[in-house]
Amino acid sequence: MTEAPMRAIFERLMSFDTVSAHPNLDLMLWVKALLEAEGIAVTLIPDASGQKANLFATTGPAGLPGVMLSGHTDVVPVEGQAWTVPPFALTERDGRLYGRGAADMKGFCAAAIAAMLKAARWQAEGRPLQVPLHLALSYDEEIGCMGVRSLVDMLAQAPVKPLFCIVGEPTAMQVATGHKGKVALRATCTGREGHSALAPLALNALHLAADFMGELRDMQARIAAHGPRDGDYDVPYTTIHVGKMSGGVQVNIVPNIATLDFEIRSLAEDDPETLIAEMRRRAEALLAPLRAEFPEAAIRIDRLWDYPGLGTPSDAAVVNFVKGLTGANGTIKVAFGTEGGLFARDLGVPTVICGPGSMAQGHKPDEFVTLEQMARCETMLEALLARLESGWPA
């Protein structure tokens, strides 16, 4: 693996604590200065607080559609995890590079930044790209692909949009063409409080939430048995998952409010709006026999956030292009979500996912990416630069 500048960039990116709850502006300002020093055009898109930002950069000929490399700069928390290495430093050991975000996904971000710098230096050496190279770095991907939306809005207004996009989430350098969409939801269940000695005279909101959870589990069983299937996924059907149940004050009070936080991860063939409508009907059926005695009984379902799935055809030009860069023969689909669905749906930019490392290491203590994977990523990006220098695709 090349030691500089990619390794140095990787080390510096790792040193920024960009857990989604924290600012990422210092990291973005550092990247901006690094790119601008080589004459690369950079735009920062700050959030309302001014403490977080997206970054979009371009090198190569202006006014032409290019290839966009996309990555997110935020990482998940480390609290409660038993790390044996410093999480916000890059540690090399036994052919692996450790640190929070090493796989998901500062390793790819470092390689993409290094590729941008190399392209600019080629320009200075009389080897200009014939097709532009773009870099898109975002924030708050880990909490629902929220931050990138202002960057998508900016690109939607641009006179020229990227020709292709490569999202560098960890796929072990395989070319991934799809992932499920996700909708995060909250059910707020309202009952009637009371003393636990008289519990049958009250309406326990936790019991109501548990009954509604049973309806969600029944829907999941039906979907698993009879719903659409896609064998390219580890779980080949749409999933409904309850992740959090909250309610109650103490054991001798019948609670009047309880909440369920849950999600739908849907195949392209399943419309989440249809599933949500069914959930509302089931909730109403639970409430109907209670309303005479407890008119305040309610189950309100609110959408927290969502992102679309990605479903790039396996014979699309972007797939063949990236397979040519990596030497891959086939394609995969991934279980986790990415910003790729937004680029494809909202911008119409053909998108694939291909990056170093494995999500099996992501979000865990002692997260790592191997030196071998980083070397393969660098090789892919070197091949990309050679294609853009030659004028293909154009």
Kindly list the catalytic residues.
Answer: 74, 141
Answer for the pair 183, 276: CB distance below 8 angstroms, yes or no: yes
Where do runs of H (alpha helix) occur along 102-258? Answer: 107-124, 149-157, 205-226
CA distances to 74, 94, 109, 185 from 14, rounded to whole Å, are 11, 19, 10, 32
Token readout for 138 is: 């975002």
Cα(294)–Cα(274) distance, integer angstroms: 29
Answer for the pair 365, 81: CB distance below 8 angstroms, yes or no: yes
DSSP 120-149: HHHHHTT---SS-EEEEEES--TTTS-TTH
Cα(336)–Cα(349) distance, integer angstroms: 20
DSSP 275-312: HHHHHHHHHHHHHGGGTTT-TT-EEEEEEEEEE--EE-
Which among 94, 168, 157, 216 has a CA at the least distance from the CA of 339? 168
Cα(37)–Cα(186) distance, integer angstroms: 47
